[in-house]
A = this chain, B = another copy of it.
Amino acid sequence: MRIGELSSRTGVPVPTIKYYLREGLLPSGERTSPNQAQYGDGHVRRLKLVRAMLEVGKLSIAATREVLNAIDAPGGTLHGTLGAAQSAVTAEPSAGGDEDGARQEADRLVAVLAERRGWRVKPGGAARQALIQVVAAYQRLGQEDLLGILDEYAVAAERLAAAEIAVIAGRSELDGQVEGVVIGLVLGDALMAAMRRLAQEDVSRRAVGERAN
């Protein structure tokens, strides 16, 4: 198929597809003449993935490109791909000062948590740094009591990660596994966020005892 059909099959405007091609989010089609190219089902699939990461996952173009590179990297292990994708989606923490020491306190809290849960995670890893940042923010806002349920979050995260990996490990082809892990990573955030809102709405409605929402 040519670009027009790729567009109509995915709902993505032609100029936007051209833009993605330029940005390296989509491999170019197979050239049949100097200015003609053929696209296949793989392009449709990839384009849908790109849109999902951009629109649902709210990734930037650059982050999306890095994630795709991680997926496409040949010979990577699942674990390696996940790590690469994680650092792609986790913006590093803008190196702000830490006058109040919340950063160090948070670091300690996270270390204790990891210990308690038996997590062996890289000290300098993107995921860990991100968590430290968030915990520090809670502290700076004087919301230490909310950090009391940190373990609830941890348990929830553990269970979800385990369930997700179990589903993905059950897939036959490796390609599907790699893609699944990354989709679970990127879209999973959005899924959990939406689910949390829904649950909050319900719990808060009950707590307040409001009739018929």
> A residues near B, CB below 8 A?
11, 48-49, 52, 55-56, 77-79, 82-83, 86, 90, 94, 96-97, 99, 114, 117, 119-122, 125-128, 130-131, 133-135, 137-138, 140-141, 143, 145-146, 148-149, 152-154, 156-165, 167-171, 180-181, 183-185, 187-205, 207-208, 210, 213
Decide if B99 touches A11 in the complex (CB within 8 Å): yes
Decide if A56 touches B137 in the complex (CB within 8 Å): yes
A interface: dominant SS: helix
Known: A141-B183, A143-B180, A163-B152. A205 touches B134 (CB 8 A): no
Decide if A195 touches B138 in the complex (CB within 8 Å): no
Decide if B207 touches A11 in the complex (CB within 8 Å): no
A190 to B90, CA, bound (A): 11
Minimum C-beta distance from A186 to chain B (A): 10
